Amino acid sequence: MRLLVVEDDADLNRQLTDSLVEAGYAVDTAFDGEEGHFLGDTEPYDAVVLDLGLPKIDGLSVLENWRRDGHKMPVLILTARDRWSDKVAGIDAGADDYVAKPFHMEEILARVRALVRRAAGHASNELTCGELRLDLRASRVTLNGSPIKLTSHEYRVLSYLMHHQGKVISRTELTEHLYEQDFDRDSNTVEVFVGRLRKKVGSDLIETVRGLGYRLGEPVDG
């Protein structure tokens, strides 16, 4: 799963990014509204953490422009403003949730998890496919109750497939949600990660749909 963090405070941006990467996400960063708007306008994200008090273009305007252009990714706004009217303005502009500064990093992680899973149609922090289970809070995968050790990229591939269980996901889409913006992306490596996952979780759970991509779970008729 791939996120965008738009925060002009360098230390806070780094803290957010480090925590989200540790939680298993691929994270791109921007330090002003202009750069943040461009990334959100041109790259596919599963969620965005957006500060309202940004230089060049304020966060509210960035959000309004994204929504006006039809971008539907979940957005969590950060605000140092305590006035309820600012929070209402953010929600009315298209934000899905907000957190007031200062905040605990665990709250950010919990709210991001909720936004990502709800956008994919899941209500629980535990995703299941047969005996395969993914605990989003602990970034932990088990099969038949036994833990499975995955690399960061294997985890991201499995997490994306489990969030979109039953849907055919192309190699291109997986690649776009697997790596950060400045990473040297190669869609062929997705085949390698899927091959490794099959050895760890069972070859029957991840189906190759010829010419289209991969699907986790039982094939869907029609």
pLDDT at 221: 47
d(CA 215, CA 116): 19
221 in a structural domain: no
* Weakest-pLDDT range from 92-96, 97-101, 148-152, 184-188: 184-188
Picking from 119, 137, 163, the residue at the C-terminal end of a domain is 119
Given 80, 97, 119, the domain boundary residue is: 119
Among 119, 148, 176, the domain boundary falls at: 119
Which amino acid makes up residue 222? Answer: G
Whole-number pLDDT of residue 184: 64
CATH number at residue 177: 1.10.10.10
Query: Are the beta carbons of 205 and 130 closer than 8 angstroms?
Result: yes
Question: Domain containing 40 — which CATH number?
Answer: 3.40.50.2300
- pLDDT 10s digits, 147-176: 999 999 999 999 999 999 999 999 989 999
Query: Tens digits of per-residue pLDDT, 52-72?
Result: 999 999 999 999 999 999 999
d(CA 120, CA 164): 6
pLDDT at 220: 47
Mean pLDDT on 5-17: 97
* Whether 77 contacts 97, CB under 8 Å: yes
Q: Are residue 109 and residue 131 in the same domain, yes or no?
A: no
* Domain housing 91: 2-119
How many folded domains does the chain comprise?
Answer: 2
- Please report the pLDDT score of residue 3 as a whole number: 97
**Domain co-membership, 145 together with 67:** no
Q: Is the pLDDT of residue 82 over 80?
A: no
* Residue 40 or residue 211, greater confidence: 40
Q: What is the pLDDT of residue 185?
A: 64
Task: Kindly state the average pLDDT of the residues 193-221.
Answer: 85
Helices 188-201, 152-163: crossing angle, 10 deg rounding: 80
Give the chain's mean pLDDT: 92
Q: Looking at the structure, do residues 115 and 142 belong to the same domain, yes or no?
A: no
pLDDT band, very low/low/confident/very high, at 180 (cuts 50, 70, 90): confident
Residues 111 and 134 in one domain: no
The answer, yes or no, to whether residue 219 has pLDDT greater than 90, is no
pLDDT surpasses 90 at 140 = yes
User: Residue 205: pLDDT above 70?
Assistant: yes
Cα 149 from Cα 168, distance rounded (Å): 25
What is the per-residue pLDDT for 217?
A: 83
| Residue 143, both tokens | 């099969």
**Mean pLDDT lowest among 81-90, 109-118, 208-217:** 81-90
